[in-house]
Structure 1
Amino acid sequence: MDSTTSTPSHATFSGTAGICLMRNAWKEDQHPSFINFISTFLSANSFRLNFVPIAPDFIFNCGGLSVAFIFVTNWDCYNVASIFNRVQKLKMQFARFYVVVSLPAKEQINSFIQSYFTFGMVIGKPTFVPVQDLEMGFEKMVKIAHSSGVYKQERIGEKLKDELVQRMDFYLKVVTSIPGIDNHDANALSQAIGSVQAIAKASKEQILENTDLSTDKAGLVSRFLRDPKFYSRPKIN
């Protein structure tokens, strides 16, 4: 459980964007002033708000990642079964699912803790986020969705970076397999000429004009990549 209960910051996330889907039935149960707060907060953070008939109370899509939420704004100590039954049902439908619970009174906190274990909840499956007030609860939802989207984008960026490194390693292996060509020469060819295919099409004169390779090396590169008989000969390292 995430039991953080700090004061709402009303901070905005500059440069972010996403979509917030709110369940119609949930909206009807809330005070108009809270819906107005939600709309204003989302707009300030570049989120678009849509009202739709969905199973969870909210679904955020941020950075191509969907995160679902149940938002319990009125914890009824005498009617908790319906809440946990709904949680059990929805946690099977969404890979990223959180339950935000507003617990402003000590009696509600005690009821929540007792009910959490009575209904056999497992910590983190899903994650419950107790908060002191409604505004804090919604801010936490937006922060969770935003962080999830940023994390996914960073993972995508890391994957692309890894792929580029792998491609460069392969390129260096191919070009440095030419007798007499070292990493410096290969990098010079990459920056000035381009891919292995582009180098194969480049003439000796083009290589000399655009790189610091010697005349002998430029001729060697041109011959090696164009003449199968040349690059298939046994080479002495």
Structure 2
Amino acid sequence: MAGCRQNYRVQKSDSSTSGNLGIGVCMINNSWRDEQRPDFIQFVSSFLRANAYRLNFLPIAPDFIFNNGGLSVAFIFITNWNPQNIPAIFGRITKLKNQFGHFYAVATICSAEQNESFINSYFKYGIEIGKPTFIIVDNPEMGFEKIVKIAYVKGECKRKDVISKLKTERELSVQVMEAYVNVITAIPGLDNHDASALIGSIGSIEALSKASKEFIMENTDLSAEKAELIEKFFKDPKYYLSPKFN
């Protein structure tokens, strides 16, 4: 594997400029850590720290689990492609791809022989394309940077999706409030302040339509006259069917 070691490099330009990545947690398999070179583990720790990720070493099933933006992304990271380990590698992949919704396999392939071995094994073990996605890299440092970036992007997509849903809910809430105010202010003598008091104390239009004059007076600061107008508006056909002018 000497050829791979010659290709090792730390891409300082990426790690020094990627401090804007999101805060998250990275869990690393204890056994995977123990199989790596100490200087590479130092690189991993430094890169995570530079990108505001907390690092924990735990006895987890995959090699890495990132939690970023409320989304978990799992990885197998093969830093040394050894043909003798192929059955174990693909056995783990087959098992883990059914356990994680977001799962990737990263492999360091740095020779023509290793590349041929990988391709033959990929088809031999019947891996379905994209399940999982394989990322092939020249060296472990490059592979780890790609892992962090994938985890970050997945987390950001999740976060933006949540923000989009919250925005939609807020817009819907505003529309509901506007419709409520329009209904209340359609009652002669009631204004926006009265509508705010009613939605805060009584609730929905349906609840208000069932409320009595006494109940409205007990739960709001509206006068007896306004409470009576509301009750008539919803319950007295002679009132709600007659023309009204503000």
TM-score surpassing 0.5? yes
SS at match of 1:95: coil
Offset at 1:177? 2.3
How far off its partner does 1:132 sit? 1.0
Query: Residue by residue, what CA displacement relative to the aligned partner does 1:173-193 show, whole Å, maximum 9, x if unpaired?
Result: 222224658xxxxxx948x98
User: Quick check: 2:30–2:57 contact (8 Å CA) kept in 1?
Assistant: yes
1:43-87 deviation per Cα after TM superposition (whole angstroms, max 9, x unaligned): 000111111111111111111111111000001134412111110
Which of residues 126, 138, 149 in structure 2 aligns to 1:143?
149
Separation in 1 of the partners of 2:196 and 2:75? 49
1:130-159 residue CA offsets vs partner (Å, 9 max, x unmatched): 111111100111111111111111111111
Q: 1:23 to 1:226 in 2, by over 3 A?
A: farther
Match of 1:172 in 2: 178
User: Unaligned 5+ residue runs, structure 2?
Assistant: 1-9, 203-219
- Where in structure 1 are there 5+ consecutive unaligned residues? 1-6, 182-187, 205-221
Letter in 2 for 1:223: K
- Tell me how far apart the structure 2 counterparts of residues 131 and 150 of structure 1 sit (CA, whole Å): 24
Structure 2 residue 69 is matched with structure 1 residue 63: yes
TM-score scaled to structure 1, two decimals? 0.77
Mapped partners of 1:224, 1:165: distance in 2: 30
Q: Residue in 2 aligned with 1:4?
A: none
| Distance in 1 of aligned mates of 2:115 and 2:67 | 30
SS at match of 2:136: strand
Q: Matches of 2:195 and 2:107 in 1, distance apart?
A: 60
Deviates more, 1:116-125 or 1:77-86: 77-86
CA distance in 1, matches of 2:67, 2:168: 26
Partner residue of 1:28 out of 30, 34, 37: 34
Paired-residue identity, %: 43
Of 72, 77, 96, which aligns to 2:78? 72
TM-score between both structures, scaled by the size of structure 2: 0.74
Name the stretch that deviates more: 73-82 or 18-27: 73-82
The structure-2 alpha-carbon separation of the partners of 1:225 and 1:22, relative to structure 1 and needing over 3 Å to count, comes to: farther
Mapped to 2, the partners of 1:82 and 1:102 lie a distance apart of 16
| Deviation sequence 1:14-55 (CA, Å, 0-9, x none) | 262111111111011000000000000000001111111111
Counterpart residue identity of residue 57, structure 1: D
Higher helix share: 2
Indicate whether 1:133 and 2:135 are aligned: no
How many pairs align?
Answer: 207
Aligned to 1:158: 164
What aligned pairs does 1:2-151 form with structure 2 within 5 A after superposition? 8=11, 9-10=14-15, 11-14=17-20, 16-151=22-157
Structure 1 residue identity aligned to 2:64: F
**In terms of Rg, which structure is larger?**
2
- Partner residue of 2:217? none
